[in-house]
Structure 1
Amino acid sequence: MPQVVFTPNLQRHLACPPRAVAGRTVAAALQEVFADNPVLRGYVLDDQGQLRQHVAIFVDGRQINDRARLTDPVREASEVFVVQALSGG
């Protein structure tokens, strides 16, 4: 099963341990995670369900292309890594 992993920065604010999911797209994988943790959705997606500007998602080390509908495919052994950008110095 694909594994969804959140950056340690997000894990400091919310309970979001790595999770195996059955989704075949980034959207489907995230929906499974959000079903158990709806507060997390607001950190990752905006009001239109699109990826927030300060968030990036990588599938198997490659940044996703579809930030609006999250249709990038996820394979059985994929790792979906959700990163929240940090700023400051």
Structure 2
Amino acid sequence: MAHVVFTQQLRRFIETPELDVDAASLRGALDAVFAAHPRLRGYVLDEQGHLRPNVVAFVDGVRSDDRVALADALRPDSRIHVMQALSGG
């Protein structure tokens, strides 16, 4: 099962549990997390279901560039990290 981790930046606003999910894609993994924790969805996805501009996702250490379909393929042992993108100067 893929393992989904949310970083501490999101924990300031909402509970972000680590979960193991059975999914073939990043979208499927996030949907499984949101089914268990619906309030988390609004912090990660916008109204169209796309990653928010200030959120990034990594699958097995590689940043996902697909912010719309979230179609990144997962392996059974994949690790997904979801975090807020930092900006500033």
Change (3 A) 1:24 1:53: same
Unaligned runs of 5+ in 2: none
Unaligned runs of 5+ in 1: none
Count of residues in Structure 1 that have an aligned counterpart in Structure 2: 89
- The alpha-carbon deviation at position 88 of structure 1 amounts to 4.7
The CA deviation string for residues 45-84 of structure 1, in whole angstroms up to 9 with x for no partner, is 0000011111000001000121101001111111000011
Secondary structure, aligned partner of 1:13: coil
* 1:63 equivalent in structure 2: 63
* 1:84 equivalent in structure 2: 84
CA RMSD of aligned residues (A): 1.2
Spell out the pairing of 1:9-88 with structure 2 (5 A cutoff): 9-88=9-88
**Percent identity between the aligned chains?**
49
Q: Which amino acid aligns with 2:6?
A: F
Give the whole-Å Cα distance in 2 for the aligned partners of 1:65 and 1:53: 12
The CA deviation string for residues 17-65 of structure 1, in whole angstroms up to 9 with x for no partner, is 1100001100000000001111110110000001111100000100012
Q: TM-score, normalised by structure 2?
A: 0.93
Q: TM-score, normalised by structure 1?
A: 0.93
